[in-house]
Amino acid sequence: MNLSVDDIGVKLGEGFDLGALSIGTDDTLQMDTFFYTDQDGVPVFQVDSFYDVISGSIPASKYSDKIVLIGATAVGLGTTQVTPVDPAMTPVVALAHSVSSILNEHFFITPIWGAYASLGVFLLVAL
């Protein structure tokens, strides 16, 4: 993104800025990522074999001017993560969702009154 240190700002309890992007977080500066669903059976993020790129089956020019994440996606390699859209998502695909969420400014923000509402519902159920 060609940012300098001056382009990065932290707003404690609210989020942070990366150049023109404003990323909303909770009071501990954690972001709640938005997870994208597949469209008509087509995966949101293209997963290509590294071997296919190295061997020339897929031209490297396909990735020109794109963000490329490299990681294991084969079943049985590494651990998977449970997400709202997939019960067994590989870490690199989860990272792709986070990167896209940041770049598109799609994330969930808990309102300030959210903690009070949760406490109120808990007390109501407890009574």
Q: In this predicted model, what pLDDT tens digit does every residue of 43-86 receive, in sequence order?
A: 999 999 989 999 999 998 999 999 999 998 888 888 899 999 99
Q: In the prediction, which pLDDT does 81 show?
A: 92
Q: In the prediction, which pLDDT does 107 show?
A: 85
Q: In the prediction, which pLDDT does 13 show?
A: 78
Q: Does 86 or 109 have the greater pLDDT score?
A: 86
CB-based contact 53:125 (threshold 8 Å) = no
Residue with tokens 């296919």: 52
Q: How far is CA 31 from the centre of its chain?
A: 9
CB-based contact 39:45 (threshold 8 Å) = no
CA distances from 102 to 17, 62, 88 (A): 11, 23, 22
| Rounded Cα–Cα distance for residues 119 and 64 (Å) | 50
Q: Which helix (H) or strand (E) holds 55?
A: helix 50-55
Mean pLDDT throughout 78-98?
92
pLDDT of 112 over the 80 cut: no
Confidence band (pLDDT; 50, 70, 90) for 26?
confident
- Domain residue extents for the chain: 1-34+106-127, 44-96
pTM: 0.78
Percent of the chain with pLDDT over 90: 54
| Rounded Cα–Cα distance for residues 114 and 103 (Å) | 25
User: CA angle 17-94-18, nearest 5°?
Assistant: 10
> Which of the listed ranges 24-38, 68-82, 84-98 does the model predict with the highest average pLDDT?
84-98
